[in-house]
Each structure stands twice: as C-alpha cells, then as structure tokens.
Amino acid sequence: MKGFRWQIAAGCALLGISCLIYALHYVIFRDVHHILIFMLGDVAFLPVEVLMVTLIIDQMLKAREKKAMLNKLNMVIGIFFSKTGIRLLKDLSAFDRNRERNREPLIFMDDWNKKAFLKASAMIKGIPFDINSRNENLENLKYSLNNEKDFLLTLLGNPNLLEHENFTDLLWAVTHLSEELALRKDLNKLSEADHNHISVDIKRAYTLLLAQWFTYLGHLKSNYPHLFSLAARTNPFDPNASVEFR
C-alpha cells in the first residue's frame, strides 16, 4: 500500500487542480453551460485516449523495451559462447559416437538468414546424437567445467536472464552436469548406471547448447555481420573452417 501512496496523492492533486481551473472558469465567465459542454466532450474522448495510451503507445514502448533487453541478453550470450560455449561444444561433441555423421547438419552456410538459423535450432532434437560417457575422458570434462563454475554461477545470478528461458535452461543443464561429475570420487570407476545417467546429462546439455548456438548465430547474421563472419570461420564442426581468409 505504501508504494501507491505517491500515486494516490498525485491523483488527488491533479483532481484538485482540475476543480480549481473549472471554478476559476466559472468565476470569470459565469457560464456553467459552456463548462458542462467541454467537460462532456472530454469525458467522451476519454475511452479513445485510454485506447491510444494503453493498447497502442504502451504496447509499442513495451516492444521497444523488450527488444533492447533482448539485445543486452544477446551480449551476455555472446560472452558465454566466446569464453565457454564454443569450447564446450567441442568437448561435448567428442562424446557423440555419431559425431562424423552428425557433423554435416551442423555446418551452416554464409547465405543462411535468421529464419534458417531458427529452423536449424528447432531441428536439433531430431539429429540422432548417440552420446556415450565412455567415449571420451570424463576427468578432462570435469576439470574444464570446474574451471568455469564461477562464471556459470555469475550468469545464473543475472536477474535479466529470466527473460530468456532457453538460455537459463542451458545454464542449468551445464551446471547440473558439472555437479554430477564433481561429486563422483573416481570417474574412471563408474558403474553402468552412472555412465548411463551421465550420458543423459551430457546429451541434455549438448542439445540445448547447440540449439542456443544456432539461435545466437541468427542474431549475429541479422545484426552483426562482422561477428557472424568470425563465427563462420571458427565453426567447430566444419573441418575446412579457417580463421584466416584465403
């Protein structure tokens, strides 16, 4: 209730000023009929004014604010991929026993537009990933994720990320995988059940990471061609990719 006190006070003050002006008008012109005509006209226009302010102008401002917020969030996502995400893509892809076969749909083209990247992001779940935690050294993955633990927790502590549910899900999946690995004493002596569980965790993090990566690439293609160019020349799934121009 305390938060609305200033609004109530402001409303009362504005009503008081309006009454004062109408009273001044009457004192000067002594014309109640004229006052009532304009008052009725103002009241009749009020629904139109509410429509314009709340349904049109307000929505336009909210859309503009949301766009600005998403741009800021994409800056955070860009930092994530630059610092951790690309390397994590390489690390997790090593656990895919179909890695060579699955490489082709992950190689994007320069002429793709934002819609093409969004479509590719949605199709990630349809790629036949065969993740097996025995396929690569889990100790190396554990060490790598442990080094990024503070960075991931800092990102999760950003309240603005609540506006980006998919990226938040990705961070939780990667953090969970990191915790699963960190809490096991010897990753070289895991039971079959543990290997199966960790394989599921790796696949979850990997698919979410890939989907978010393609979505982010679409953002770069539309808004930052120079950054997209670098991403294309460092595609971890393209054996012919080279950061140097040829």
Contact 209, 88 (CB under 8 A): yes
Q: How many CB atoms lie within 10 A of CB 236?
A: 17
Q: What is the mean pLDDT of residues 5-32?
A: 80
Residue 178 or 16, more confident: 178
Q: What is the mean pLDDT of residues 74-83?
A: 90
Q: How many CB atoms lie within 10 A of CB 112?
A: 17
Look at residues 136, 176, 135 and name the one whose alpha carbon lies nearest to residue 153.
Answer: 176
Q: What is the mean pLDDT of residues 16-38?
A: 79
Q: Which residue has the tokens 């000023």?
A: 17
Read off the pLDDT band of 61 (50, 70, 90): low
pTM: 0.75
Please give the Cα distance from 92 to 98 (Å, whole number). 12
pLDDT of residue 139: 94
Q: Mean pLDDT for the chain?
A: 85
